[in-house]
């Protein structure tokens, strides 16, 4: 087997359509020698259908990251397909509508709590659920949207992402002794189901089109996926708690 991830065994969460960032990660990972197990949430039959479009059909395990039973059973379910894990990809985000599109001042705690549970706390929960299968050299990689700024319509999802960025640093701190890395990719806007659920998402699209120094495609998930692969690979052995921007350079430019 050859390729950047030759022989690696990966757990990839977050596939719901073939536009999902996770789908591109799974596809590229297989093309680069990895064995992939997917997790699916909610519409399992849909995820299973999408999984068949990968170069190698991948098994799908049901995981709702807010379900403690799913998390407790995860390692055993994964062991039915692979004997260990070299990498885990967290590509999960959700916030109720009240939390997005300008609703920052009015969103109730219950909705904010859901956003934080699914989008922030789950990064730690998923990593811990997979930990029994991991060994030194392993990597956890997640997806963020630059949370150093307040964006017009991102609201509580932005707060959730700020928490995710911090959680990744704490995971790096706590799992470092076991030789496990935690890093995030800060992607620019991409037209996925999660993105379409944000009212006013087109504002990001226009801003990126105007300002990203390298230009930016809203429909090309591959640059973000490539960065995930790099961070999962052996080519970042001493990098953890890091955030790699894959946004056409947008974050580096003042307005
Ligand atoms: N699309 C963008 O513009 C963009 C930019 C930067 C970062 N991201 C991040 O990338 C990640 C992937 O999102 P995407 O854009 O590919 O969208 P997507 O809609 O394809 O993926 C989101 C996934 O989250 C899963 N999910 C939601 N609730 C869950 C739960 N309780 N348990 C398990 N899974 C659950 C959904 O099933 C879905 O597969 C998210 O963290 C998102 O915030 C997206």
Q: Find the CATH number of the domain harbouring 102.
A: 3.40.50.720
What pLDDT score was predicted for residue 24?
A: 98
12 inside domain: yes
Q: Is the dihedral of CA 113, 124, 32, 239 positive or negative?
A: positive
User: Would you tell me how many other CB atoms lie within 10 Å of the CB of residue 176?
Assistant: 13
Tens-digit pLDDT string for the chain (255 aa)? 679 999 999 999 999 999 999 999 999 999 999 999 999 999 999 999 999 999 999 999 999 999 999 999 999 999 999 999 999 999 999 999 999 999 999 999 999 999 999 999 999 999 999 999 999 999 999 999 999 999 999 999 999 999 999 999 999 999 999 999 999 999 999 999 999 999 999 999 999 999 999 999 999 999 999 999 999 999 999 999 999 999 999 999 987
pLDDT of residue 159: 98
Does any domain span residue 60? yes
- State yes or no: is 161 an active-site residue: yes
Task: Give the domain range for residue 240.
Answer: 7-246
Residue 214 lies in a domain: yes
Both tokens assigned to 159: 């707060």
pLDDT reported for residue 1: 65
**127-145 as b/e, with b when 16 or more CB fall inside 10 Å?**
bebbbebbeeebbbbbbbb
Question: Does the residue 165 lie in any domain?
Answer: yes
Q: Binding site for NAD(+), residues?
A: 14, 20-21, 64-65, 92, 161
- Note whether residue 254 is domain-resident: no
C-alpha 123 chain-centroid distance: 9
Q: Judge whether 255 lies within some domain.
A: no
pLDDT of residue 74: 98
2 is a domain residue:
no
Q: Is pTM beyond 0.75 here?
A: yes
For a mutational test of ligand 1's pocket, the pick from 28, 146, 194, i.e. the residue with the most ligand atoms closer than 8 A to its C-beta, is 194
Position in ligand 1 atom list of the atom nearest CA 43: 37
What is the C-alpha separation between 52 and 75, in angstroms, rounded?
23
Q: Are 10 and 36 in contact (CB under 8 A)?
A: yes
- How many domains, in total, are found in the chain? 1
Q: Are 28 and 89 in contact (CB under 8 A)?
A: no
* CB 1, CB 29: distance < 8 Å: no
Residue 251 lies in a domain: no
């Amino acid at each position: 087997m050859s390729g950047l991830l030759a022989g690696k065994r990966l757990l990839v969460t977050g596939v719901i359509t073939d536009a999902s960032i996770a789908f591109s990660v799974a596809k590229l990972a297989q093309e680069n020698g990895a064995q992939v197990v997917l997790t699916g949430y909610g519409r399992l039959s849909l995820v299973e259908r999408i999984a068949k479009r990968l170069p190698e059909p991948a098994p799908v395990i049901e995981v709702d990251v807010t379900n403690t039973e799913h998390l407790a059973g995860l390692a055993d379910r994964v062991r039915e397909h692979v004997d260990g894990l070299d990498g885990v990809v967290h590509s999960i985000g959700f916030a109720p509508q009240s939390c997005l599109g300008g609703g920052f001042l009015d969103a109730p705690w219950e909705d904010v709590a859901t956003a934080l549970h699914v989008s922030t706390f789950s990064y730690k929960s998923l990593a811990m659920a997979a930990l029994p299968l991991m060994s030194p050299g392993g990597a956890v990689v997640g997806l963020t949207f630059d949370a150093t700024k307040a964006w017009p319509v991102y609201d509580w999802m932005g707060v959730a992402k700020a928490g995710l960025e911090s959680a990744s640093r704490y995971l790096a701190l706590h799992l470092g002794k076991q030789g496990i890395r935690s890093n995030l990719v800060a992607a620019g806007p991409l037209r996925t189901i999660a993105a379409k659920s944000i009212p006013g998402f087109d504002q990001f699209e226009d801003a990126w089109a105007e300002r990203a120094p390298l230009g930016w495609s809203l429909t090309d998930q591959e640059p973000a996926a490539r960065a995930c692969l790099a961070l999962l690979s052996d080519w970042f052995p001493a990098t953890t708690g890091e955030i790699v921007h894959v946004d056409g350079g947008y974050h580096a430019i003042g307005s």
